[in-house]
Amino acid sequence: MFYKLDGKKIIQVNDLKDVADLFDANSEKRVVRRTYFEDGRWLSTVFLVHDHGFGVGNPILFETMVFDDPEHGDEVLERYCTWEEAEKGHEQIVQRMTSLGAKIVKDEAKKDSLEDDFEEIDRFELMDFD
């Protein structure tokens, strides 16, 4: 079973041909958010196209990974069922990394999968002042 996105809505499809465009040279269509850090690491949250829960429970279709971590290499940090969970999970990991001293040099996200462009995230807007 495969899945594709229509904006943030997940659509089940039966044939790999229906999602082939998600694997072309421009795989940007699968990216939810990317955060780059001063030390060269980057955090990436993407749509996975097929269920990484392998049919047990709700489909697990999003994943956040950290790349170029000198201590652990490339590492899967979290997986999620929905776009909204993926956005929230990515932000939680960013906050955890920055609380440990990581400095962000660039943070970008897409509002939905239909967009080609990313928008720079204003870190000030994400702060919780309550």
- Mean pLDDT to the nearest integer, 18-27: 64
Domain of residue 13, residue span: 2-125
Overall number of domains in the chain: 1
Sign of the four-CA dihedral 15, 18, 24, 27:
negative
The answer to whether residue 111 sits within a structural domain is yes
- Mean pLDDT to the nearest integer, 64-76: 78
The answer to whether residue 31 sits within a structural domain is yes
The answer to whether residue 62 sits within a structural domain is yes
- pTM of this structure: 0.80
Residue 57 pLDDT > 50: yes
The answer to whether residue 17 sits within a structural domain is yes
Burial readout 15-54 (b: 16 or more C-beta within 10 A, e: otherwise) = eeeebeebeeeeebbbbbbbbbbeeebbbbbbbbbebeee
The answer to whether residue 20 sits within a structural domain is yes
The answer to whether residue 130 sits within a structural domain is no
**What percent of the chain is predicted at pLDDT more than 70?**
78
Mean pLDDT of the chain: 81
Cα angle, residue 41 at apex, residues 38 and 42 outer, rounded to 5°:
105
Residue 119 pLDDT > 90: no
The answer to whether residue 70 sits within a structural domain is yes
CB-side neighbour CA atoms (13 Å) of 79: 13
The answer to whether residue 96 sits within a structural domain is yes
